[in-house]
Structure 1
Amino acid sequence: MDAESRRTRFEALAPGLVDPLRRYLARRTDAATADDVLSETLLVCWRRVDELPPDPLPWAYGVARHALANAERGARRQRRLAARVAVVDPPRESVAGPGDEAAVDVPLEEALAALRPADAELLRLWAWEELGPSEIATVLGLTPNAVSIRLHRARQRLAEELRKIGARAGHEKSRKGGAR
């Protein structure tokens, strides 16, 4: 493929990738890291435009997932270094300002945090990114059958965690009507 056709293909695919990838990353990390990882993901897509499948989004989610893992490893290294530096030169205390806390579904976040990271990621891909088992399989490098089985079990575990913390799962009906 010549340079002009590579560019044309990438320019046709990129607009369909940017917003879903931005949402995927925004739900998993802070805004600055999400922007950095999005840039890195698009760079990989550009470099490998010849290898992109006909439906590139699940493939791009996989790239973003790996890039995010790399960014998180780098952030952990930076935090360890900052902790060592803080012993020598402690930082001044700061007070959070208004609007610093994002609105989150606390029971859901608690329930997801109680799950194994692999289960939580599987549920996020299914619910937040609205991917089907075959697309999730592409992202995670699994078979669609394995994803279906793991997804079923992960949904059961999430429902159990929500029950433990006293929250209702979103699909459960009110007990006032008598049915559940």
Structure 2
Amino acid sequence: MTEEETRRKQQARFERLAQVVVEPLHRYLLRRAGADMAEDVLSETMLVLWRRIDDVPGPGTGSDPDPEPNADPDPSPDEVLPWCYGVARGCLANARRADGRRLRLVERLIRTQQRPPTGVSDHSDLHAALGALGVLDREVVQLWAWEELAPRQIAEVTGMTSNAVSIRLHRAKKKLAAQLGRKDAEWPGHKRDEGRSSQ
């Protein structure tokens, strides 16, 4: 395969990847940063994905055992999103380290964005309970509840083991339940025992 063919294949793969991951990554970043920073970090994340397109899991990678020359496979979100969330998480951490004053502003913006709009149920107790968790516990809960990732996928994003994620998630949910005054917390859209299993 010539260099130009390789480049075309990489560009086609990147374009298919972007169609799958841009919106989830944008939502992920908006939940953790102000709109301006989210846009900047999303651009940086996509640049990293372009530079590392051969490292992104799924069909079309250099490690793909038997790629079909004319195949045009769409990446599976379950396969690529955890890896991409990990890249976005790293880009966001870099952006925050680069500007401490901006971080304080972003945290104020996050608190503002978490207030429910007029006419919507007040979730201030839940946001207060989330705010009382440690940074990593809060991140694990948000990845589980907002991004709907399984513990093994959260492990890929955070660099922890699946078992450590499951334990941390279980304990964080118990803390939240206690702070919210519930003896047995039910989480919409999730099974009661989810988070205790590493799968």
The TM-score by the shorter chain falls in which range?
0.7 to 0.9
> What's the CA shift for 1:70?
1.5
1:132 maps to which residue? 150
Match of 1:148 among 137, 144, 166: 166
TM-score (normalizing by structure 1) = 0.75
2:127 maps to which residue? 109
2:24 and 2:180 map into 1 onto residues whose CA distance is: 27
One-letter amino acid matched to 1:56: V
Structure ranking higher in helix proportion: 1
1:7 maps to which residue? 11
Partner deviation per Cα, 1:11-59 (whole Å, 9 max, x = no partner): 1111110111111111111000000111111111110000111222101
1:134 and 1:5 map into 2 onto residues whose CA distance is: 30
Percent sequence identity over aligned pairs: 52
Partner deviation per Cα, 1:70-111 (whole Å, 9 max, x = no partner): 22222315579xxxxxxxxxxxxxxxxxxxx54332111111
One-letter amino acid matched to 1:107: D
Partner deviation per Cα, 1:98-130 (whole Å, 9 max, x = no partner): xxx543321111111111111000000000000
**Residue 138 of structure 1 aligns to a residue in which SS?**
helix
* Ranges in structure 2 where 5+ consecutive residues have no aligned partner: 59-78, 105-111, 117-122, 189-199
State the aligned residue count.
Answer: 149
> What's the CA shift for 1:134?
1.1
Which 4+ stretches in 1 moved above 6 angstroms? none
Q: Counterparts of 1:84-99 in structure 2 under 5 Å?
A: none
One-letter amino acid matched to 2:135: P
Match of 2:53 among 38, 49, 58: 49
CA RMSD of aligned residues (A): 2.3
One-letter amino acid matched to 1:15: Q
2:14 and 2:102 map into 1 onto residues whose CA distance is: 34
2:81 and 2:103 map into 1 onto residues whose CA distance is: 32
Q: Is the 8 A contact 1:123 1:151 kept in 2?
A: yes
**Residue 57 of structure 1 aligns to a residue in which SS?**
helix
2:95 and 2:52 map into 1 onto residues whose CA distance is: 20
Match of 2:91 among 67, 80, 92: 67
> What's the CA shift for 1:161?
2.2
TM-score (normalizing by structure 2) = 0.68
2:119 maps to which residue? none
Match of 1:18 among 14, 22, 25: 22
2:33 and 2:103 map into 1 onto residues whose CA distance is: 15
> What's the CA shift for 1:171?
4.5
1:146 and 1:153 map into 2 onto residues whose CA distance is: 11
Match of 1:58 among 82, 94, 112: 82
